[in-house]
Chains A and B, each alone.
Chain A
Amino acid sequence: MSSPAHGPSTDDAEPHAFFQHHYNTVGQQAAAAKLGMWVFLATEILMFSGLFLAYFIVRMFYPEMVLGSGELLDKTWGGVNTVVLLTSSYTMAMAVRSAQVGDQKKLVMNLILTIGFAFCFMVVKYIEYSGKFSHGIFPGKYFDYERAAAYMIEHGHEPVMGLPHIFFGLYFCMTGLHGVHVLVGIGVLFWILIRARKGQFGPKYFTPVENVGLYWHLVDLVWIFLFPLLYLVK
């Protein structure tokens, strides 16, 4: 069964320090944890799908308003954040790989890089949000029509007719919920980093690293769809 491309098999492995007594084998414990993580990711996808559907409905009913409002978002900052998040996904994948092959130094380094990119993402988010807020672009009923329209004219856009505050309500909800996920990701990455520095992970036991990695890739996945829908599509 095992080929050179496969890592150490876990079915006949010696129990590691984190082996829990109610599992029969180390492999069973790892498989249970990972299945649980996938089920959690499923609920995450379903939660975000509601917001995506709301976007598509608003877009279907008010196409011009959505496209006009989308023009106000900064494509370049959005693109920078996409590159940052994709790179962080790569460093996370490399962190998991380093744990799998037992490279302690690279594991810690990749985790630190991932956390760094996550902070970069939040800094860009802060720049974008504060830029919007300073021009009266707030979600929902806090939207300041007069200041927003002045800003649109100043930037050579036609003032968006209809209900731009609905679009920005969606924008702030979708990117905000995603941003909260990035913050939570930073939290769990720190937890993994501390454990990694204690030398708790290695080829025999890396399930937490792998599961945090799965979560982080999901955050990346959501952004892969958010970015074109909100910033790019005309």
Chain B
Amino acid sequence: MAHTYLHGKPVEGVIEVHEHVSPASSYIKVLSALFVLTGLTYAVSFANLGAASLPVAMTVALVKATLVCMYFMHLRYDDRYHVFVFLSTIIFVAIFFTFTMFDLTSRPRLNEEQDTFFRVDQGGDWNDAQRAKNIDKYPGPEVKGVPHASAEGKADAKADAKAGADAKAGAPAKAP
């Protein structure tokens, strides 16, 4: 037994990390599971699940990620501290996502309460230039003061304009 030191002083009874060698067959099993799950998401994408498709795809991706982390990255057998580092990263990502989404989804109400309004900048916007170029083909959202598209497809344009105006004001559109 080699001498082990902690803060410069020799200590007894220290157990260091033992590397775990997984059997080759376990890696094959994990790879097959990953292939099956990939096939599953691929197949599911052709069945129109609508609103459920995002949660389903994310669940399958999470299962795949867990398999990779636990077996390929050895987190299952590794020092728990590495698991801690990894999971705390995920927690910070979750905080980042939650608070940003919270801000964006609650902002319209805040704007309303504080009577904030936004002016649409019409000077040299790239989208406006594109829209002007293709105004007959693709009537985009209606913008105040900008002459809008042709009469045909007005219903479409109207719906589009509404969605566009909502989005410009910062209101969340409905999830698919």
Contact = CB atoms under 8 A, between A and B. Distances in A.
Q: Does A pair with B?
A: yes
A221 B68 contact: yes
A94 B26 CA distance: 10
Interface of A is mostly: helix
B138 A145 contact: yes
Interface residues of B, number: 76
Interface string A2-32: 1001111111110000000000110110110
A60 B81 contact: no
Interface in B142-176: 160, 163-164, 167, 172-176
A50 B92 CA distance: 12
Contacts of A87: 31
Interface in B26-82: 27-28, 30-31, 34-35, 38, 41-42, 44-45, 48-50, 53-54, 57-58, 60-61, 64-65, 68-69, 71-73, 79, 81-82
Contacts of B120: none
Contacts, number: 194
Contact of B18 (A10, A60, A82, A92): A10
Interface of B: 1-5, 14-22, 24, 27-28, 30-31, 34-35, 38, 41-42, 44-45, 48-50, 53-54, 57-58, 60-61, 64-65, 68-69, 71-73, 79, 81-82, 85-86, 88-90, 92-93, 96-97, 100-101, 104-105, 126-127, 130, 133-134, 137-138, 140-141, 160, 163-164, 167, 172-176
Interface of A: 1-2, 5-13, 24-25, 27-28, 30-31, 34-35, 38-39, 41-42, 45-46, 49-50, 53, 56-57, 60-64, 67, 75, 79, 82-83, 86-87, 89-90, 92-94, 97, 100-101, 141, 145-146, 149, 159, 161-163, 213-214, 217-218, 220-221, 224-225, 227-229, 231-234
